[in-house]
């Protein structure tokens, strides 16, 4: 007699994918601010602006640089 295990395998795959999704969401919640700051820093350097840290992680922003203005004074 041969048993059909396709349904059981599908359920196992769904459980594994669900677990991976929950772990990924947790990591984004923990490290999301740091990732946002890293992307903001890269954007600031590309646009020739200065990165200004925020009060909390993930609240950093770009500000106009005054280095060029200082050269012409």
Helix (H, G, I), strand (E, B) or coil at 32: helix
Burial-class residue 57 by CB neighbours within 10 Å (0-12, 13-18, 19+). middle
Give per-residue pLDDT as tens, 10-61.
Answer: 899 999 999 999 999 999 999 999 999 999 999 999 999 999 999 999 999 9
Between CA 49 and CA 52, with CA 51 as vertex, the angle to 5 degrees is 130
Place of tokens 């594994």: 16
Six-digit token pair at 5?
């295990």
pTM for this structure?
0.58
Six-digit token pair at 52?
């200004």
């Amino acid at each position: 007699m041969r048993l059909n295990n396709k349904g059981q395998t599908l359920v196992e795959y769904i459980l594994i994918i669900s677990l991976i999704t929950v772990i990924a969401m947790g990591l984004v919640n923990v490290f999301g601010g740091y990732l946002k700051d890293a992307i903001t820093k890269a954007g600031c350097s590309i646009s020739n602006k200065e990165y200004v840290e925020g009060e909390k992680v993930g609240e950093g922003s770009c500000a106009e640089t005054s280095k060029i203005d200082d050269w012409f004074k």
